[in-house]
Amino acid sequence: MIPSDRSEPSIQLTHVSIRLGGRSIQEDMNVSLAPGTFAALLGPNGAGKSTLLKLLLGLLKPSSGEFRVLGRLPRTGNRDVGYLPQFLNMDSMNALRARDVVGFGLDGHRWGFGFPNRTREQKLDQILDEVDARSFSRASFDQLSGGERQRLLLAQALVSDPKLLLLDEPLASLDIAHAQEVIGLIARICRTRGITVLLVTHDVNPLLPHIDQVLYLANGRSALGRPDEVITTEVLTQLYGSRVEVVSALNRRFVVGAEV
């Protein structure tokens, strides 16, 4: 359930339009996500999913409209916003211990490694326990499975105790079993911490038992609501501007007639 306290939305976009290089990415977006909401961000390639995350991170500005993140204008380096990007140079982390990768979320902005102290080590132990990663925290990063690496990168994004968590395709490189584990972990953290999560994905089906809302982007348009309100033939046909069929079978939703 979405928390009832909506006094300060975690994300608020009002009539926001985004243009890049003269190309319209999104027009007239109106989005409000309450604290503690677990939302999926969906849409075809090029619809503006990663661009929207950059806007929320303060890396881009809209061409028009008003927007707030945690009640303020977005800014880079905001420790109240945790971020897991889609693409990372993992080669640079291969020789590091797992717990040192997580430690970058605390002091990676400084030159060299942070000085080890009791408070820092306790914080790392706490976050490693939260993502069920303490058992392999002493292993080198290159020895870990894809699911284990995602747990560590999630821990890195969480270690500053953010109020908003932005995840760009965290399930893309995982098999079904590991993807389900990571989804369950993210849902649990969202509920226990009461933080807002916006997760970019191409397949909403594994998320359906856990998410509160869907933000769907397509053809410069957007729709926000519960999954059963947004992922429908009528709404997606309107978004795409051409006939789209949503078929439900085996507790899954399939979108036919659009690039998804």
Query: Is residue 61, in this structure, part of any structural domain at all?
Result: no
How large is the average pLDDT for residues 227-254?
Answer: 89
3-state secondary structure 17-79: EEEECCEEEEEEEEEEECCCCEEEEECCCCCCHHHHHHHHCCCCCCCEEEEEECCECCCCCCC
Q: Taking a C-beta distance cutoff of 8 angstroms, is the pair 165, 174 a contact?
A: no
Residue 135 lies in a domain: yes
Kindly report, residue by residue over 38-58, the tens digit of the pLDDT. 999 999 988 999 999 999 999
pTM for the predicted model, two decimal places: 0.89
Binning pLDDT at 50, 70 and 90, where does residue 244 land?
confident
User: Which one has a higher pLDDT value, 173 or 206?
Assistant: 206
The total number of structural domains in the chain stands at 1
Location of structure tokens 């270690």: 159
pLDDT band at 3 (very low <50, low <70, confident <90, very high): very low
219 Cα distance to chain centroid: 21
Query: Containing domain of residue 131, as a range?
Result: 90-161
The answer as to whether 31 is a domain residue is no
Q: Flag the least confident range among 36-45, 70-79, 108-117, 177-186.
A: 108-117
Question: For residue 146, is it within any domain?
Answer: yes
Least confident of 14-28, 65-79, 81-95, 130-144: 81-95
pLDDT of residue 49: 94
Task: Provide the pLDDT for residue 201.
Answer: 93
Residue 259 has pLDDT above 70, yes or no: no
Positive or negative: CA dihedral 174, 226, 33, 48: positive
Identify which of 79-88, 175-184, 212-221, 237-246 has the greatest average pLDDT.
212-221
The answer to whether the Cα torsion of 223, 82, 129, 171 is positive or negative is positive
Specify if 103 maps to a domain.
Answer: yes
Please tell me the predicted confidence (pLDDT) of residue 94. 66
Examine residue 68 and state whether it is found in any structural domain, yes or no: no
d(CA 47, CA 42): 9
User: What's the confidence (pLDDT) of residue 120?
Assistant: 84
Task: Count the alpha carbons within 13 Å of 20 in the hemisphere toward its beta carbon.
Answer: 14
pLDDT-derived band at 5, boundaries 50, 70, 90: very low
Is there a domain that residue 75 lies in? no
In a domain, 170, yes or no: no
pLDDT band at 107 (very low <50, low <70, confident <90, very high): low
